Amino acid sequence: MDRSRSEEFDRFVTARWSALLHLARLLTGGDRHRAEDLLQEALVKLWFAWPRVAGQAPEAYVRRVLARAAARSARRRWWGEHPVDRLPDPPEAADEVAAVDERTRLEAMLALLPARQRAAVVLRYYQDLPERQVAEVLNCPVGTARSLTARGVARLRRLLAEATVEPVK
């Protein structure tokens, strides 16, 4: 790859890193370490495809790679988690951190969705992609993408309604 293409790639990665990492975090259910691994894998694939996709839509390519890799990754049985007897104390709620708490709660509930539903919801509502692009990224018909999104949102609403927040005493 010549120097100008390499510099183009570097500029793209520098400009889009944080947004792509956040997307990867959402697709992996909030696991930052898995998200970083997933994004690194996607960017390696983009590097090899860069001459082909640089002039077209490199971000769409990375989104597709991320969604597919997240789905494959979710099928693995074990990621090294270790159960504990007692959960950590919840953080103290304060006005300035209410938005962060709500986002964290939402990301935790997103993590409970099946991988394809989670990917459909994230791509549709976080990335604000039209249904057709969600279907292309997930490599499925538009109707399937639509039903995955609808089922994911419905389950997310149920999970959020069931999750009770106990007041601090």
- In this prediction the pTM is 0.56
The pLDDT of residue 1 is above 60:
no
Output the pLDDT for position 13.
Answer: 92
Residues 138 and 65: their CA atoms lie apart, in Å, by: 9
pLDDT in tens, 80-118: 666 677 877 776 656 666 778 788 888 889 999 999 999
Token pair listed for 133:
């692009």
For the chain, the average pLDDT equals 85
pLDDT at 70 over 60: yes
- What does the buried/exposed string (b/e) look like for 15-51 if buried means 16 or more CB atoms within 10 Å of the residue's CB? eeeeebbebbbbbbbbbeebbeebbebbbebbeeebe
How many Cβ atoms sit within 10 Å of the Cβ of residue 130?
12
